[in-house]
Structures are given as structure tokens and as C-alpha cells.
Amino acid sequence: MITYLLEMKFKNLNINYKKPKGIVLILFILFMTILVSFDFFKNVFSIIKYNKDERIIRNSKFCEGDSQGFVSYLNKNYNFGTNPILLNNTISPLSDWIYFDFKKEQSKSELILLNYEETQTIKTEFKNSRFIARKLPPLLREIKGINISFEDELNIDKTFVVNLYKVQNKKKENLTSNQVLLKKGLNNKFIDLSLNDSEGRKLRSYEIEIKPFKKGMIKNVNLIINNQIKLSDYQIIEKKQNCYFLRKND
């Protein structure tokens, strides 16, 4: 079948694929097609024209995921006397390999902080009558509170019980239970918790249970969290989007 297709293809080009010269020409065409499809010439040009840091900046996500673009930008523009500490507030591979030098000591004052917000809003998904927060930042320090938005303003005063559970290692722990009075006319309620949970595992999740629960009444539920690094403790040397190069205040 393949032989037949090749024969039909190259017959139109007046190439006799059964002769040695025809075979060589066919292989050359196939080889060139593969090179073009994988951007071979473009990649070779990029290697010749740009150094390693420039190639990473051009071809990687700048301040997202492992943020190789931002780290390469720092490596290109700053002469690190020591190896800065690198922390990424998303679950991604660390990119300190870009600048790390085994001949240098670990810095005690310089910090590269990626994908970081000091206070974050964590969205939940509704499942099995509970609101579940799964995508949690590794540097989470404190659950500041729970924000509940309603589809419409409440037409009467209502009392709810709001339970917060932590799920990790296949175990569920009730962290807090609050009885909340919601006044008539409200369409949004923030429940202040100030709950320290910095020792939780990276792959933990939280579940929010609201009783009594009536379908169609609640628009969304979000966790408001504070992360571990206080930016006021550092001098901001460089900032791009949510990525930082910091130096600790004396």
C-alpha cells in the first residue's frame, strides 16, 4: 500500500523511485520536509543569534508556571555574587538551575519570588453540596476568611452554619464552625477567620459547607488567604507582573 502511494505521488513529479537517483531524491525531499516541519532552520538561527538567557526569555513563559523567562532576565541583568533563594507560589518545577553556581554560597538576603500575591482570592467549585478549594498556593500562611456572594439580596434575616474542613492524606478535619447571621438586603458576606494553617501540606484542599443550603441562592464562595512572605520586609529590586527580585531589609 505504501509503495503504491509513493509510486502515485512521485509519478506526478516524473521521479522514478525504483532507480537509485530517484530514491536519493525522494529521501532528500522527505528529509527536508522533516527539517522544515520541526522549524530546524529557525532553531539553528536562534541558537546562533541569541545566547542561552535570551533564548529562554524569548521562548518561555515570563512570569507564569516555572517563570523561566523572568529568572533568565534576572540572570542576564544582575551579577549574582551569591545564589539567591528561589520560591515559587505555584506548584511548578523550580528554575534556579538557570543561575545556580555551585562555587557560590547560598544568599541570606536575596530572594526571587515567583507568581506571588501577598493576599489571594481562591475560587471554589461546587460539588456534592460543598464548595471545594483545590488550587492552593504552596506559601499559604493564613486563611483570612470566607467570602460568600448571593445571587440576589436576602429578603429576610437568615442564620447559617458555615463549616470549614481541611482534607489532606485522605483525612478530613473540621477546622472551624461558625454560626452566621445574615441581615435582610445583603448580597455579600465576609466571614473573618484569621486561621493559621502554614503547616498544611501542599496538596491539601479545603471544603466549605453551608447549612441550610438552598440551590440557586449562592452565587459563589471564595477563600481569602494571606501568604507567608511580607513584601514590606524586603526592598523590591525588580518586579515584573507578580514576580519579584527582593533584598531583605537590614
Same domain, 132 and 212: yes
Asked whether 176 and 185 are in contact (CB, 8 A), the reply is: no
Q: What pLDDT does 250 receive?
A: 81
The domain tally of the chain equals 3
Confidence category of residue 49, pLDDT binned at 50, 70, 90: very low
Q: Residue with C-alpha cell 539567591? A: 84
Are 208 and 184 members of one domain?
A: yes
pLDDT, mean of residues 160-178: 93
Answer whether residue 199 is part of any domain. yes
Residue 50 forms part of a structural domain: no
Residue 197 makes CB contacts below 8 A (sequence gap 6+) with 140, 141, 142, 143, 166, 175
> 130 is written with which cell numbers?
460543598
- Based on the domain organization, do 123 and 223 belong to the same domain? yes
Residue 143: which H helix or E strand, with range?
strand 140-150
Are 218 and 237 members of one domain? no
Rg (CA), the chain: 28
Model pLDDT for residues 114-155, shown as the tens digit of each residue: 999 999 999 999 998 899 999 899 999 999 999 999 988 888
The pLDDT confidence band at residue 38, using thresholds 50, 70 and 90, is low
Q: Is residue 48 part of a domain?
A: no
More confident residue, 35 or 244: 244
Q: Is the dihedral of CA 69, 70, 75, 76 positive or negative?
A: positive
Please give the residue range of the domain that contains residue 29. 2-42
| DSSP letter string, 71-105 | HHHHHHH---SSEEEEEESSS----GGGT--TTSP
**185, 154 contact by CB (below 8 A):** yes
